[in-house]
Structures are given as structure tokens and as C-alpha cells.
Amino acid sequence: MKKTVIVIAIAVTPAATALADVQLDLQAQAQCERFATTEEPTPPEAEAACLVNASRGLPSAQFALGALLLSHQKYSEGQGWLEKAAAAHHPPASQLLGELYLQADDKELQARGKELLRYAVCAGYPPALASEHKAALGPIDCGSTAPASFDGTWDSQLNWIKGPPAGGKADQLRVVVNAGTLKVFLRSGGDWIETKPGKFHLLQVDDTLEVSAIDSGWDLDGKWVESWSIHLLRVAPDRAVMNFGRTVNNIYLPEAFGFKTFSTVAEGQATRVSK
């Protein structure tokens, strides 16, 4: 393989506070990102800062460590960490490793490089889209990497963080998605009750589905304006984290009454029980 010194551009996003069951060293991660994104030569301790969370399985730290090792001309070690991050479907690692392999003399590595760079392109990673090696991929079909549909029935248990002021907390929430249309049900006791029929709209970006509605109605207290927002954050084909929020406002009630405006928040785990 050609030992080419690579100029590394890393797009940084705020570090997550935690992986599912993994405790991260956020101070080490901040140092790692600072070292990995500087244009100045990095000291040896930069590798140690990135190793802390890379060894715990954080793909961004594995990517940063791999990139630093490459810049220090430690090619074998760097490729090893980049492969770990790429195996976790990390687009920046796939892009960098793909470009590295495309410069190799080995045909198998070149094929692997195309596969990795193609994945980063289909993920929409900006440096991959602008890569000078993109032309080597030929026609790109990203159909197999398109976001999976949320169609089906998703049930979730509601864990209330902040309930409504007058009670009436439901036990479960159900979202039924069918070819761009949806229905929302609440369950209290043994009955599923559809709420706001025909009012909800949906928006999907990758593995996040947003379901929202806003409407109004009158009673003896005046005109109520109510909004609902439900998010399904998919973590597996048939599992998602669910967040639910509701706001209520009545402009005709005096401010002294606490229920003039209020909000409720719940969260839980959603499971797709049918497709």
C-alpha cells in the first residue's frame, strides 16, 4: 500500500452524554476532538486522549484516533481503528478509510475502498459527496441504504415526566403509520381511543419520525389551543425511543389560574407490533 500522508478534515458534532450502557469520559472526548480537528501538529498525548473512549466503543473516538494515527504515519494501527468505526456504520470513518484504500495497489483493497466510500456518499456525508475519488465509483445506487419505512403499528408504555394538572394520564400510546397516513390512539384501562382523527401530520428524516398536530376548540372557559408532538427515534428495525409532548393554552383564562397554559411530557420504549 502507498504510504500517503492524508490531510484529515473532521466534522464535529456535540458528543453524546452517554451510549446506551457505556460511561464516557467527556473531558477526554473534548480533548480528543480538539486535537483531531486542529491543523497544527498534534502531540503524542492526543492519541491517549482519544484512546479512552475509542476503547469503550465510541465510533467518533475510534475515527478520531485512527485519523490521528494516520497523521502520525502509524498506518496499520490507524487503519485498525478506522475499521472498527466503519464496522459501526460511521460515515466519516468509511469515507477516510475508503479514500485510503482507493490509493492502494491491491485490487481487493481498492474494491473495499469503493464499498466504504459508496456507503459514505449514500449516507450524505459532505466530505464524501465532495471527494475527488467519487468519480471512481461510477454510477451509485443508494436504494439499499434508503431510510426504512415506519409503516406499521407502534405501541409504547408511557412513563410520565410531567403529567397534566388535572390528571387523566394515559397508560399507553399507539401510533399507526400506513403509507404516509397515520392514526394516534391512547389507552387508559382496557380501551384504545383514537385522538384527534385526521389532525396529525408526519415527517420522517432517516430513522426519526415526527408526528404532530395543533388544533383548537371551545368550552365554557373559552377557546383552547392544543398541540401534540410525538417522536419515534428508531434504534432497531422494530424498536424505537418514544418522546411525547403536549401543550395547552387558553387566552381567555386569567393568568392566576394555573391551567391557563400547561405542558405534559412522557417518554418510553416503542415496539412495532405489526407491519
Q: Where are the domains of the chain?
A: 26-138, 152-274
Backbone angles phi, psi at 238, to 5 degrees: -120, 20
CATH number of the domain at 152-274, out of 2.40.128, 1.10.4100, 1.10.3470, 3.90.226?
A: 2.40.128
Give pLDDT tens digits for 127-144.
Answer: 999 999 999 999 998 877
pTM score: 0.76
Yes or no: domain 26-138 corresponds to CATH 3.60.21: no
Residue 95 · residue 117 · CB < 8 Å = yes
Residue 263 · residue 247 · CB < 8 Å = yes
Please determine, for residue 9, whether its predicted confidence score (pLDDT) is greater than 70.
Answer: no
Residue 248 · residue 261 · CB < 8 Å = yes
Give pLDDT tens digits for 171-208.
Answer: 899 999 998 899 999 987 788 999 999 999 999 999 99
Cβ burial, residue 191 (10 Å; 0-12/13-18/19+): exposed
